[in-house]
Amino acid sequence: MSHAVNNTLELVDRLGLIEDQIEQLREQQEDLKNQLKLLGAGTYVGDLFTTTVKHTAERKTVAWAKVAKELNAPEELVTKYTTVAKDIMSAETNPRANVQIVY
């Protein structure tokens, strides 16, 4: 195999490994967020970071494609189809002020 092919294979494999690690970290992230959400809405302070858990009573989204189809209009038009999600918990973590994070 040529050097270019070997280099490409190495890049693909490195990318795949990184993407796998990211997926594993995302799973860990969601698990930790879910644990914090179980504590309820509020602000939780660690040594380095602060996480705020928020409860959203209701969230609405519009099914844009259905609206455009029903109105025989361009996809940009929206008015009718809306889905509602309720009791949403979210968690956001930010570095604390004046704290240097060393990895």
Position 39 scores a pLDDT of 96
pTM for this predicted structure? 0.59
Cα–Cα distance list, 10 to 3, 20, 21, 77 (Å): 10, 15, 16, 46
For the chain, domain boundaries = 1-38, 40-96
**Per-residue pLDDT averaged across 5-33, rounded?**
91
- pLDDT digits 0-9 by tens, 41-79: 999 999 999 999 999 999 899 887 777 778 787 555 655
Among candidates 35, 53, 56, which has minimal Cα distance to 44? 53
Kindly report which listed range (34-38, 44-48, 97-101) carries the lowest average pLDDT score. Answer: 97-101
